[in-house]
Structure 1
Amino acid sequence: MVKTRSKQNFEGCFMRVKRIISILCFVLLNGICVAQKGVDVKDLIYCVQVDALEKVFKEQLHFVESTDTAAIAKGETVSFQWVFRSTFPVTNLKIEAGDLANGDIRIPAGLEAFVGYVQATSDCHTCGNNNLPIKKIYDPISRLFPDPLLDIEAINVPALSNQPLWISYNVPRNAEAGIYSGEITISGEIAGKSFRLKKQITTKVYDVSLPEQTLWITNWYFPEYMSKMNRDQTVEPFSDRYWELLKILAHAMRDHGQNVYIIRSRPEFLLTNDALPEIIQTKIEGSQYTFDFTNFDKTVEFLMREGGLKRIEGSHLGSKMKGWGSDIGITVPGVGLRPLVNDTVRNYLSQFIPALYTHLRTKGWDKMYIQHIADEPSEVQSYIDVENFIRSLAPDMKVIEATIMGAKVANSVQVHVPIIWYYEKEADFYKAQRSAGNEVWYYISCDDPQGKYANRFYERELIQTRLLHWFNYRYNITGYLHWGFNYWQNVSGTPALYIDSNQGLPAGDICIVYPDYNKVYSSIRLEAQRDGIADYELLRLLEKKDPETAAQLASSIIRNYERYNTNIASFRETRLKLLAALSE
């Protein structure tokens, strides 16, 4: 008899719960007996180092210890992770990271954090192509997924609950090569008794310097949700408080490889009905428009200074008129969405586009500016018509688009951004586009890609997020786009437990950082993305020296679009080979 999937899931969950309850009862009874004998509280603690690419779940009972020497290039970040668990509740658990030392050379810790959890109310196959086989998903009973990195002073840990601890070091580009060692102190209290644990760490810094970043990275950010960093109090656009909080967001993006920023020039936008700051202020008298670029300039200059902005991503001029498959319309300030044939639209564009491009040239930003027309267009001719009209007004303006239309818009887009599986379908076309001098990036978004394609959802292996940029190298894709850096509309809770309650999108899609008062917390996924960007740059560096070895290493991990090696030990071995080849 063949069991249905729902019955299999029910029986599997029942057996897991039964096993966990049995083990917990055994451990608790033994813990009480041990405590009554007055033994050292350290005997009640389990603390083991695991690879930083492992996801640690609350219910997990077994861990593979990983104490190997970490391998790193100059300019990279090296991270370490431990699992802490106690038979009895622990209060005031703290971690203190000593310097990494090599003789008199010392590298201080860049991040000391507790890995927090997010409760997901949806899963990664709630929409879209959910009939496709999935490479691997995690499905914890609790629906609690490890992700936020809480750099807070202390935390309380319930009995028999796993608490991951995270330490990172930013190795300077001018550091000396060699072996660096350090010590981590873990302290807290159990039943009023203090304890202190010492853990040793070692890393080898290779005589290789991480090059300056060439990979283009954009994660769309949402300043309207900075209220979540302000105790849910409204943040007045362009006020001192606005810039103060945007600086925190910008630093988080910059420090994790973002160098392209979407600048939403008008109050209307495709993703939200919330009030947005009017970055380019528009006024009309009769049929004549005037445009004030003051806030636009302030934003760009601010993100250059604080966010490492290298390219400006102009926000969408319009969107689909009536949903998927419908014509593209243009949003006119004060009027709304209208088709290109509308005289008001043509009048607006005929004044806005030349004014914008003239201003960009005046500021010296025209070569770094790329313009969206409409997100994920699905009706070809109306899109081509809009692009042709814009091209007639600003012939040198580059158009960027997240699109699945590929060759159908070959002459209308200069920065193509397909979903990875559409890239696979039209690989020859995109190769020809690169040869013609156009750019090819890729994006992951919402329910795409599904199946065995890599993504950053909570339920996927953490290593998939890192490998996203091995795909960039393997297929000569020079950019990456994701729509959700901090789309916190449906994120609630506190650092103790965040809740992702967005029912329309897969869990983990809407954000990759988490809000608190006056700060944002990074995540294990964002750290993995940054490390993947570094891998990309090291592979490019090796390509200049030994292209054959670089190609072999990349293809040993990324075999094709749906077959890629997520074994962590194998990945670490490949990284060692990469660093060794570069340092020869």
Structure 2
Amino acid sequence: MDSVLLPSLKMHYQDEYAFDKPSDPQDWRDEKRGLNVSFGSTERAYFRTEVPVKQASLSWDATGWKGERLNAQVLVWSPDTLEQVRFQLSELTGPGGKKIGAGQFGLNMVRYVLGNYPYGDKNAVCGNTPFQDGFLMPDRFEDFDRFDVPGNSIRPVWLTLDIPATATPGVYKGKITINSTKESKTLDVSIRVQNQLLPEATKWSYRLDLWQNPWTVAWLNKLKPWSEEHKMLLKKHLKLYADAGGKYITTYGVHSPWNDNSYMIEGGMIEWTKTRAGAWQFDYTIFDTYVELAMEAGVDKAITLYTAVPWGDRFRYKDQATGNYVYENWAPNSDVYSKNWNVFLTDFKKHLQQKGWLQKMFIGINESEMKHTLAAINVIKKHSADWKITYAGNWHKELDNLLDDYSFLYGNEPTAAELKQRAARGVYSTFYVCCNPAKPNNFVFSPPVEGRWISWYSAAFGYDGFLRWAYDAWPEDPSRDARFGSWPSGDCYMIYPGAVSCVRYEKMREGIADFEKIRIVREKASRSQDPQVKQLLKSFDEHLVVFTKEKEFDEAKITGDVDKGRELLEKLSDKL
């Protein structure tokens, strides 16, 4: 990860409406007074002071699998101030009087946070962003009982429906009633449940790797790290990750591996101590605690230990004789590195075997120069053939056969043929985005559809999943201000404190669910002898190719590509 300039002084927050996108006053003068409501698209953002739609859509018609989560966005707006806006959800009634209870719905206000680029910006870069620039972007979810809407503004509300895995296939209908102190409006809901089952998220094949930093949870909540209160919050925090299909547990074998570039640095989970006699001792208490918490939450497929090559080759250990921490630089191609890491790897392997975790473990290396990467891999491979290595960075042919798990930066990837060769060897390949490229990405100013598009690209190109730094590397006040020094806003975190989801996270999850549906449908269709199924599968595979050729990331075009893919997937699902 690149270093970042962090602001040294606490931000002075201006009025929360100071950075609104300008709107045309005539639009509001022409708008009908009183309570206005409509369904909107979940693929785009709606800004606080714009009239959101010209023609209201009063019905939500959607199709989904048993076990799938469907998302909708309800817009509430008015030229007048609206008071005490409340939502009332009815149960859905389906075939033979079967019900989907109102408890399967979720409702959240979409709160606006400050970002440092305008919506859809194509020039976002690492390192040169003026921190003082600010634009309000709709992203963070907030539970509510009721809310007010100031005049000449809107409030987006995010609606989720978790279709029960036991639901009877068919069409279910219900209503949403929206009340203010003076008016009431009704929206219609019609959901068609297909006779296909989406497994629960912890059983998805997609390898989602969002790097976690549990110290941020303690820091932002002013808790003692690894106290019982901290661990209770971590359980909720990790459950949200598992609910999106998170597979990798992020752990740290060294202290502050990334050049101290976070508001709260990643602490070492394994304490290295040099005894008075000059021997090494290793304390795995924090490592074990975090891994066990993650596995209890359902994140249990892989553990990554960062890192064999820390920033500046800097390693920290405790000197038993003085009680002081000592920092030393051990270059991976040095004798001291080889000697010390061989001792550590021997002890660590024994510990992992005792815990039953060795087969899940990956030693992580990230964006390091080639000579140090190769030297570290050589030390690890020579120590034991049991070690698996993961690397995040550009595609390098010389690393291909050395890595069990390789995540490529989007735009610096192998060819499709090279990726197939990796798949044939039974190793994992994913891709990632970070503070670049500008598109596609998961920034707070990225069109939401990009978060969904990412997993369609994974399916089209043949990847096993997606990686991102980070899940929770929060800035000073993330619930209001997503700006993080000189990086594009939202680059460093995908969820909010308190295990609060957001538009970006739900769109990413939606794309992952699409990936799983694609996998299941293609497996079933490949076994079918039905000519219609074969033709639909051919059309679907031909359409997937467009996701590998995208260059401009025009919002309307990629939305159309996703919509067409979903339509073909829906038709295939009906035929199987």
Q: Pick the TM interval, shorter chain.
A: 0.7 to 0.9
Q: Does 1:225 align with 2:219?
A: no
Listed one character per residue, the Cα deviations across residues 366-425 of structure 1 (whole Å, up to 9, x for unaligned) are 11111103x212x2222111110111112221110101142032233221111121115x
Q: Does 1:366 align with 2:348?
A: no
Counterpart CA distance in 1 for 2:395 and 2:72 is 43
Match of 2:492 in 1: 510
Instruction: Give the RMSD, CA atoms, in angstroms.
Output: 2.6
Match of 2:424 in 1: 435
Match of 1:407 in 2: 397
Counterpart CA distance in 2 for 1:177 and 1:228 is 47
The 10-residue stretch of structure 1 (194-203 or 346-355) with the greater mean CA deviation from structure 2: 194-203
Q: Does 1:331 align with 2:322?
A: no
Q: Does 1:482 align with 2:459?
A: no
Query: Which of 263, 271, 275 pairs up with 2:251?
Result: 263
Match of 1:542 in 2: 521
Cα–Cα, structure 1 residues 358 and 330, in superposed 2: closer, same or farther, change >3 Å? farther
Counterpart CA distance in 1 for 2:416 and 2:315 is 33
* TM norm structure 1: 0.82
Q: Alpha-carbon deviation of 1:207?
A: 0.3
Q: Alpha-carbon deviation of 1:159?
A: 0.5
Q: Alpha-carbon deviation of 1:341?
A: 4.6
Q: Alpha-carbon deviation of 1:558?
A: 5.0
Counterpart CA distance in 1 for 2:561 and 2:379 is 52
2:256 partner SS: coil
Matches within 5 A, 1:48-127: 48-63=38-53, 65-66=56-57, 67-102=59-94, 103-107=97-101, 108-122=103-117, 125-127=123-125
2:290 partner SS: helix
Q: Alpha-carbon deviation of 1:579?
A: 2.6
Counterpart CA distance in 2 for 1:507 and 1:306 is 28
List gaps (5 residues or longer) in structure 1.
1-15, 32-42, 131-140, 322-328
Q: Alpha-carbon deviation of 1:120?
A: 1.0
Counterpart CA distance in 2 for 1:367 and 1:100 is 45
Counterpart CA distance in 2 for 1:316 and 1:551 is 43
Cα–Cα, structure 1 residues 358 and 228, in superposed 2: closer, same or farther, change >3 Å? closer
Cα–Cα, structure 1 residues 98 and 26, in superposed 2: closer, same or farther, change >3 Å? closer
Cα–Cα, structure 1 residues 317 and 567, in superposed 2: closer, same or farther, change >3 Å? closer
Q: Give, as a single letter, the amino acid of the residue that structure 2 aligns with 1:508.
A: G
Quick check: 2:255–2:316 contact (8 Å CA) kept in 1?
no
Q: Give, as a single letter, the amino acid of the residue that structure 1 aligns with 2:125.
A: C
* TM norm structure 2: 0.83
Counterpart CA distance in 2 for 1:129 and 1:226 is 26
Match of 1:20 in 2: 24
Listed one character per residue, the Cα deviations across residues 67-101 of structure 1 (whole Å, up to 9, x for unaligned) are 35201011110122111112221232222322233
Match of 1:7 in 2: none
Quick check: 1:430–1:440 contact (8 Å CA) kept in 2?
yes
Q: Does 1:210 align with 2:184?
A: no
Quick check: 1:49–1:81 contact (8 Å CA) kept in 2?
yes
Q: Does 1:340 align with 2:332?
A: yes
Query: Which of 144, 152, 155 pairs up with 1:160?
Result: 152
Cα–Cα, structure 1 residues 475 and 346, in superposed 2: closer, same or farther, change >3 Å? same
Q: Alpha-carbon deviation of 1:206?
A: 0.3
Counterpart CA distance in 1 for 2:197 and 2:559 is 24
Q: Does 1:297 align with 2:288?
A: yes
Cα–Cα, structure 1 residues 84 and 569, in superposed 2: closer, same or farther, change >3 Å? farther
Q: Does 1:578 align with 2:572?
A: no
Q: Give, as a single letter, the amino acid of the residue that structure 1 aligns with 2:344.
A: F
Cα–Cα, structure 1 residues 278 and 484, in superposed 2: closer, same or farther, change >3 Å? closer
Q: Give, as a single letter, the amino acid of the residue that structure 2 aligns with 1:73.
A: W
Match of 2:174 in 1: 182
Listed one character per residue, the Cα deviations across residues 426-464 of structure 1 (whole Å, up to 9, x for unaligned) are 4433332222332211111112x23xx422223332111
Q: Alpha-carbon deviation of 1:251?
A: 1.5
Cα–Cα, structure 1 residues 207 and 117, in superposed 2: closer, same or farther, change >3 Å? same
Counterpart CA distance in 2 for 1:115 and 1:432 is 43
The 10-residue stretch of structure 1 (522-531 or 119-128) with the greater mean CA deviation from structure 2: 119-128
Cα–Cα, structure 1 residues 120 and 152, in superposed 2: closer, same or farther, change >3 Å? same
**How many percent of aligned residue pairs carry the same amino acid?**
20
2:171 partner SS: strand
Counterpart CA distance in 2 for 1:434 and 1:545 is 20
Q: Alpha-carbon deviation of 1:59?
A: 3.3
Listed one character per residue, the Cα deviations across residues 525-581 of structure 1 (whole Å, up to 9, x for unaligned) are 111111111111111112112256446325425512425774546634532331331
Q: Does 1:552 align with 2:539?
A: yes
Q: Alpha-carbon deviation of 1:148?
A: 1.1
Counterpart CA distance in 1 for 2:26 and 2:169 is 50
Q: Give, as a single letter, the amino acid of the residue that structure 2 aligns with 1:61.
A: V
Query: Which of 448, 455, 460 pairs up with 1:469?
Result: 455
Match of 2:321 in 1: none
Cα–Cα, structure 1 residues 90 and 142, in superposed 2: closer, same or farther, change >3 Å? farther
Q: Give, as a single letter, the amino acid of the residue that structure 2 aligns with 1:552.
A: S
Q: Give, as a single letter, the amino acid of the residue that structure 1 aligns with 2:241.
A: M
Quick check: 1:151–1:521 contact (8 Å CA) kept in 2?
no
Quick check: 1:388–1:412 contact (8 Å CA) kept in 2?
no
The 10-residue stretch of structure 1 (297-306 or 550-559) with the greater mean CA deviation from structure 2: 550-559
2:452 partner SS: helix
The 10-residue stretch of structure 1 (247-256 or 312-321) with the greater mean CA deviation from structure 2: 312-321
Q: Give, as a single letter, the amino acid of the residue that structure 2 aligns with 1:422.
A: N
